[in-house]
Amino acid sequence: MLNLTRLLALSRKELIQLRRDSRSMILAFLLPVVLVILFGYAITWDVSAIPAAVVDQDNTSRSRELIDAFRSSGYFEFVEHLDRTADLDARIDRGDIWLGVVIPPGFAADLEAGRGVAIQGIIDGSDANTATIVSGYANAVTQSYSARIHLEGRTFQPPVRLESRVWYNEELTSRNMIVPGLVAVIMMIIAAMLTSLTIAREWERGTMEQLASTPVRRTEVVLGKLLPYVAIGLIDVVLVSFIGVFLFGVPFRGSAALLMALSLAFIIGSLGFGIFISAVARSQLLATQMAMITTFLPAFLLSGFMYSISVMPPVLQSVTYLVPARYFLVVTRGIFLKGVGVEVLAVQGLLMMAFAVAGLTAATLVFRKEIAS
């Protein structure tokens, strides 16, 4: 049975050590702020002001209308009007433009005669994702222009018309998706790194033998060291969430209480995992390196934060089920953007509770082995 007096005494001791360690204080409160601001501004999949050049071989009012259609879409910025198609190659090679538009001679005449016209779009494909987006924007502009020309002077409406409505992220900005995901990624990293130093610090300072000789139980040692960091973790969740909402303008539509409750389970699991690393490593430097490798890379690459899990190879898709940030990512995005409740996030909540139990159990078992050695 746990002794509350011993537990609180260990927590107070850990809190005093933490307060005296400026590196841990910076890691606890400054690093989450720096990471969310840095990643929030740096990571984006939005493409705008696409540099483009045009070779207008028709030079008529119709061809200029098409160029204006590209420009007024808000996605393209024509930086040059060239005379020859061959001149596009050097601009694309240097990275001056991402798109070259070639309007053939006879463009206006073919339109007036009702004949189909093919314009050429040359896209820099060295960045496949950007090239796909640029191609989609260019196709949308030309299709819209084509439909307008087809209906010009006619009163009937097209037989089928799509009217789309976007839910949850109406502006289709990647920041609204990235910032809630950062809450999951950053908390996984920070929580594990903070506690990865705790037991390793005891070994390096020579105080582990004193701690092992006391009558405190192994579970009391683990929980006593963990409690101060639980409070810090919850403060960090609030801090990062406030930055996301008030600095980046990300909507928060769900329950703050539900976010904190599910964050608690995730933080406890991450902290327990950090103590497990600390007990195994015995060195603060090694523990920090292990925490970075085992938390940052999986949380960043295999949680669905950067890349959709559905497009990963089947083997990696199976591995993602072992990444706790995958489930917390669903929680943060669901609460921030969709406002969903526990009825939708129940499975993720149970899995994170299981992660918390597993983290604490692993930390206690490994710490028990170290004391016995």
Q: What is the pLDDT of residues 100-151, one digit of tens each?
A: 999 999 988 888 877 778 889 999 988 787 888 899 899 989 988 888 877 6
Top pLDDT among 268 and 288 is at 268
Confidence of residue 247 (pLDDT cuts 50, 70, 90): very high
Mean pLDDT, range 58-71, rounded to an integer: 91
Q: Which residues contact 81 (CB under 8 A, 6 or more apart)?
A: 53, 54, 55, 56
Q: Alpha-carbon distance 277 to 256, whole Å?
A: 31
Residue-level pLDDT at 44: 79
Task: Read off the amino acid at residue 211.
Answer: L
Residue-level pLDDT at 153: 56
Cβ pair 44, 178 in contact under 8 A: yes
CA–chain centroid gap for 40, Å, is 8
Which uninterrupted H or E stretch holds 365? helix 342-372
pLDDT at position 267 over 70 = yes
State pLDDT tens for residues 201-230.
766 666 665 666 667 777 877 888 888 889
Share of the chain above pLDDT 70, in %: 90
Identify which of 185, 182, 177 has the alpha carbon closest to the alpha carbon of residue 337: 177
pLDDT at position 47 over 90 = no
3-state secondary structure of 254: coil
Q: Which residues contact 329 (CB under 8 A, 6 or more apart)?
A: 180, 181, 184, 185, 303, 304, 305
Q: Which of 76-85, 115-124, 215-224, 268-277 has the lowest mean pLDDT?
A: 215-224
Cβ pair 185, 305 in contact under 8 A: yes
b/e for 326-359, b at 16 or more Cβ within 10 A?
bbbbbbbbbbbbbebeeebbeebbebbbebbeeb
Residue 292: CB atoms within 10 Å: 14
Residue-level pLDDT at 152: 66
Average pLDDT, the chain: 84
Q: How many CA atoms lie within 13 A of 58 on its CB side?
A: 22
Q: Where are the domains of the chain?
A: 4-44+173-372, 50-151
Mean pLDDT, range 52-58, rounded to an integer: 93
Q: Alpha-carbon distance 71 to 63, whole Å?
A: 13
**Residue 81 per-residue DSSP state:** E
State pLDDT tens for residues 146-181.
888 776 655 455 555 656 677 888 777 888 889 999
Q: Which residue has the tokens 């701690």?
A: 211
pLDDT at position 368 over 80 = no
CA–chain centroid gap for 91, Å, is 33
pLDDT at position 369 over 50 = no
3-state secondary structure of 15: helix
Confidence of residue 319 (pLDDT cuts 50, 70, 90): very high
Beta bridge mates, 55? 82, 102
Residue-level pLDDT at 339: 92
Domain range 50-151, CATH class: alpha beta
∠ Cα 188 194 199 (to 5°): 125
Confidence of residue 56 (pLDDT cuts 50, 70, 90): very high
Residue-level pLDDT at 222: 81
pLDDT at position 263 over 90 = yes
pLDDT at position 182 over 60 = yes
Rounded to two decimals, what is the model's pTM?
0.79
